[in-house]
Amino acid sequence: MNSYLKRLFWPLAVLVALLIVNIAVTGFDFIVPSVHDGRLGGAFVNILRGAVPLLLISLGMTIVIATKGIDLSVGAVYAIGAAIACQWILDRDQSALDTVFTAVVLALVVAAVIGAWNGTMVAYFGVQPIVATLILMIAGRGIAQLITGGQIPSVSDDTPFVELGRGAIATVPVPIVIGLVVFFGLVLLTRTTALGMLLESVGGNPEASRLAGIRSKGITILAYLICGACAGLAGIIGSANLGSADANNGGLWIELDAILAVVIGGTALLGGRFFLLGTAIGVAIIGTLEDTIINVGLSSQWQFTAKAIVVFIVAILQSPEFRAWLLKPFRSGSAAEPTAPEPKPEEKAVAK
Amino acid sequence: MSTTTLTERSDRSTLFDGLGRYIPIAATIGLLIAMYAGGLANYSNFDNPQLIADLFIGNAALLIIAVGMTFVILSGGIDLSVGSMMAFSTMALAWMTVELGLPAEIAVPVVLVFGTGSGMFTGAVIHYFKVQPFIATLAGLFLYRGLTLQISDRDVSIREIEFFSWGMDRVEFGNVREGGFSLPHISFIAFAVVIIAFIVLHYTRFGRSVYAVGGSEQSALLMGLPTARTKVGVYAVSGFCAALGGVVAAYATRSANPLAGVGLELDAIAAVVIGGTLLTGGSGFVLGTVAGVMVMGMISTIIAFQGNLNSWWARIAVGVLLLAFILLQRFLGRSGEKRKT
């Protein structure tokens, strides 16, 4: 547990630092929730509410990365989930509860099937995860447009569907409730059953796990299935919030944000150990970062640059070679070759 | 495991071994011919030679970037930053020439040097700090897109700059009305890149090292090949090609769009894979990439000719082709992963 807390220390510190910057600029209203129309509001609650789709995808991504995989198709699955749900409701009685229910279930099932397909490609066909999921990353948005017929379906504001994105249960916004349910569901599933250990085992060494009697192929497929379903659910919540599904731009680049959140949270891309709570903190950091940039008076274009800097710092801090290099900067290596090109990164980093 | 692989290898004749690696590229070319034949049979005016020439006009930047990507993928890496890098180069050109008033003759080399340098930097981070190529270039994807948007979040026209009118000037081959065709200068830039890349990959030490590092970095290192120089080199090549793609895009559109090239890295990777290059590295041809780009262009052309199909079918078709080629590579048996173990 102690090492677990140590892992979470840096992400938490960054999050707290970001919150302090925001509070310093905009005052305590930033963090204190207020109640509007029977619903919690306030800047920070809104950030969390907006970050729920990213949270769901990042949680699924954490599970996949734990198995030494990666899922690039989540953005496309997000678009497909959103497209199916909106299109289904649009074509039927919009205010009927069972229509909405069917739409959500249908979208989730399709998303889970897509996830299982990715998992099958990885587990049974032995395709690299990046490659296997790249196929759907490219084709997925085409499929989503096929479903919507190239239009952007907008559901009416009366349908119960939009409550999934805008409503509140006991003043807590519905997306946050869903996010918490999925988060604790996954934590319970992976930490109170053997599944979490099996996932880490498969990620650590699939062949050894298989020899130890673990059905590693089934576990891999399950991981991708969970990730797909999470992405579909994220699409449903995202489109419910907007009341429409944009096949082209819905969830654009969310896979990259999700991978970033997972890496910030301390889960290594090499598979093995995973930290769902760390991922959740990573999501909160990314969500807060976007608002911080605007609050401190920079233009919103800075968020890409800020993310790039975060990716770079996190990636390089996780590299043992970099830490070793930092600790002995003045020791000349055994050969001239490793030292000669190395000043270059330094110069460039300064120049940037 | 290793002993069985050894016996398996010696059982195979070298002749068969040599031919086996041509199967994916043969499939690509076969597909290209089949698509062209299908187009000829179904649509009138499909036999116009300008149609083939057009593949190299609209896709000139993609071709150049895909060639750079071929180097990276052959070495076993991946470069996600190329789309952003291209947009950044175009935008930086526009900014330097329009805002700063620098002559384009200076701005173009500056952009190319910057692209190469940033590629070298990425490569150095990947090689020396063992950062995964995916993550290191992801940082590049965000960074250059962010810088592009910071220069300008709307289109910048460079129509006023005389220098950029050269790119779309056409060279005619025969009379265009009577079965000839014409190509703009940017297509020749793309051809030059392909020819140079072909020579570098097949007839220089660097090219051989790229294949060796992609096949097995450990073995390449033990053989005494300069793996560090090679890995930094491929990202430098990719960065240069992305920057050159940006220059070509500036020629082609004569404006800088901050959102140009979003998702272009995926198109480039798809073109490389459809061209028969193994994504695990070590096997593939730059001419295959040319065929891959032509296939992707041909898909769009056929969809345009069909008329009643929408552009999203192109994405689905590319996805299906990717799937087919990845499975083909898997079932050809001698995949990169097997060789590595």
- Gap between the Cα atoms of A261 and A266, Å rounded: 9
Number of domains comprising chain B: 1
- Gap between the Cα atoms of B107 and A321, Å rounded: 37
Tokens of A116: 């299982």
Q: Report yes or no: B146 and A308 within 8 Å, Cβ to Cβ.
A: yes
Residue range A60-74, pLDDT digits in tens:
999 999 998 999 999
Residue B295: CATH number of its domain: 1.10.3470
Strands (E), chain A: 34-36, 39-41, 168-169, 172-173
For residue A303, the tally of other CB atoms under 10 A from its CB is 20
- Gap between the Cα atoms of A215 and A209, Å rounded: 8
Strand partners, B182: B172
Q: Give me Rg for the CA atoms of chain A.
A: 21
CB–CB contact A138 B322 (8 Å): yes
Tokens of A189: 């599933």
Q: Give the residue, B84 or A306, on which the prediction is more confident.
A: B84
Structural domain span for residue B150: 51-340
Residues A254-278, mean pLDDT to the nearest whole number: 87
Between the alpha carbon of residue B192 and those of residues A267, A288, B56, B186, B196, the distances in Å are 44, 47, 12, 10, 6
Instruction: Give the helix/strand (H/E) hosting B296.
Output: helix B286-306
- Gap between the Cα atoms of A40 and A205, Å rounded: 45
For residue A177, the tally of other CB atoms under 10 A from its CB is 15
Nearest to B276 by CA among B14, B17, B18, B21: B21
A315 CB neighbours in chain B (<8 A) are 131-132, 135-136, 139
ipTM summary value? 0.80
pLDDT score recorded for residue A75: 93
Residue range A220-247, pLDDT digits in tens:
999 999 999 999 999 999 999 988 888 8
For residue A329, the tally of other CB atoms under 10 A from its CB is 8
Tokens of B155: 């289109």
CB–CB contact B270 A316 (8 Å): no
Would you say how long chain B is, in residues? Answer: 341
Q: For A114-156, give the DSSP string.
A: HHHHHHHHHHTS---HHHHHHHHHHHHHHHHHHHHTTS--B--
Domain boundaries, chain A: 12-351
Q: Report yes or no: A208 and A68 within 8 Å, Cβ to Cβ.
A: no
Side-chain half-sphere exposure of B243, counting CA atoms within 13 A? 21
Cα of A3 to nearest chain B Cα, Å? 23
**Beta-carbon contacts of residue A244 (< 8 Å; ≥ 6 apart):** A86, A152, A153, A154, A155
Query: Which one of B135, B232, B280 makes the best mutation probe of the A interface by having the most chain A beta carbons within 10 Å?
Result: B135
Report field, pTM of the whole predicted structure over 0.80: yes
Residue B6 placed within a domain? no
- The answer to whether B337 contacts chain A (CB < 8 Å) is yes
Tokens of B137: 């270039």
Q: Which residue has the tokens 């305590």?
A: A28
Cα of B146 to nearest chain A Cα, Å? 4
- Gap between the Cα atoms of B314 and B324, Å rounded: 15
Tens digit of pLDDT at every position of chain B (341 positions): 444 444 444 444 455 556 777 888 888 899 999 999 998 998 888 888 888 888 899 899 999 999 999 999 999 999 999 999 999 999 999 999 988 888 889 999 999 999 999 999 999 999 998 888 888 898 899 899 999 998 988 888 888 888 888 888 888 887 777 777 888 999 999 999 999 999 999 999 999 999 999 988 889 999 989 999 999 999 999 999 999 999 999 999 888 998 888 889 989 999 998 898 888 888 889 999 999 999 999 988 888 888 777 778 888 988 998 898 888 877 775 444 444 33
For residue B284, the SS3 value is: coil
- Gap between the Cα atoms of A89 and A93, Å rounded: 7
In this structure, whether the domain defined by A12-351 belongs to CATH 1.10.3470 is answered with yes
- Gap between the Cα atoms of A250 and A154, Å rounded: 13
Residue B287 placed within a domain? yes
CB–CB contact B319 A142 (8 Å): yes
Residue B37 placed within a domain? no
Q: Which amino acid appears at position B171 of this protein?
A: V
Mean pLDDT of chain A: 85
- Gap between the Cα atoms of A257 and B300, Å rounded: 30
Q: What are the two backbone dihedrals, phi and then psi, of residue A37, each rounded to the nearest 5 degrees?
A: 50, 45
CB–CB contact B310 A312 (8 Å): no
- The answer to whether B151 contacts chain A (CB < 8 Å) is no
Nearest to A239 by CA among A104, A69, A37: A104
- Gap between the Cα atoms of A260 and B98, Å rounded: 36
Q: Give the residue, B341 or A138, on which the prediction is more confident.
A: A138
* Residue A199 confidence (pLDDT) above 70: yes
Q: Which amino acid appears at position B237 of this protein?
A: V
| Three-class DSSP labels, B22-69 | CHHHHHHHHHHHHHHHHHHHHCCCCCCHHHHHHHHHHCHHHHHHHHHH
Cα of B73 to nearest chain A Cα, Å? 12
**b/e per residue, B305-327, with b = 16+ CB within 10 A?**
eeeeeeebbbbbbbbebbbebbe
